[in-house]
Homo-oligomer: A and B are copies of this chain.
Amino acid sequence: MFVNLIDILGTIAFAISGVMVALNKKLDLFGILIIAFVTSTGGGTLRDVLLGVRPIFWLTDTNTVYIIIATTAIAIIFRKYLKMVSKSLVLFDTIGIGFYTIAGIEKSLLVNLDPVICVAIGTISACFGGVIRDILCRRIPVIFKKEVYATACILGGVSFFALRMVAPESKWLSIVPILVVILVRIAAVRYKLTLPSLYKQKGPSF
């Protein structure tokens, strides 16, 4: 139930981030809906395609689709207020990538994959919805900006397997790594932490 709530929060957060990017690009109503949909479901769809899981999660979970449609409608109506809440949006988005990372790892474990592969799948699940959104909207993909984004997912994934070695039966096995993703990302945003730079001048040259 608690995980379900996080799942719904993640879906809503990703949908809203899609609406914000699409509004910024002045798309029309259905364009906005498509971008919201792709942002919310893209990472999980890629995960299910890679793992060969059938059906893709949103094909039979109609609630996800209704939540995205409702979120898009509400976000469009209250679009003037979206910027005012953009800080809570970073929080929602962060909850979203935290949840998707661990959900991706757990789905990968069901088909008995190596931990390194599981972390790769978890990170892809979390990040590629946003990547597809940005490519469709011709923006610089968010994970390639100088932000701790994929890094937070990878660290969360590593903490999952560390905790699993120590306490394989713990009921915290899902919750703690999600918190790790969230804390790493929020600490990075708050204190402007970045990975050590390989370059003399700053910022990506897109």
- B120 and A196 contacting across the interface, CB-CB below 8 Å: no
Q: Which of A50, A51, A58, A203 has the most CB of B within 10 A?
A: A50
Q: Copies of this chain, how many? A: 3
Chain A interface size range: 35 or more
CB distance from A150 to the nearest CB of B (A): 5
Q: Flag whether A82 is at the interface (Cβ < 8 A).
A: no
CB distance from A141 to the nearest CB of B (A): 6
Interface residues of A in 165-206 (CB under 8 A from B): 194-199, 201, 203-206
Q: Flag whether A162 is at the interface (Cβ < 8 A).
A: no
Interface residues of A in 28-71 (CB under 8 A from B): 28-31, 34, 37, 45, 49-52, 54-56, 58-60, 62, 65-66
Closest 6 CB pairs of A and B: A52-B54, A28-B195, A31-B144, A30-B150, A62-B114, A26-B205
Q: What is the interface of chain A, defined by CB distance below 8 A to chain B?
A: 23-31, 34, 37, 45, 49-52, 54-56, 58-60, 62, 65-66, 76, 79, 111, 113-114, 116-117, 120-121, 131, 135-138, 140-141, 143-144, 146, 150-151, 154, 194-199, 201, 203-206
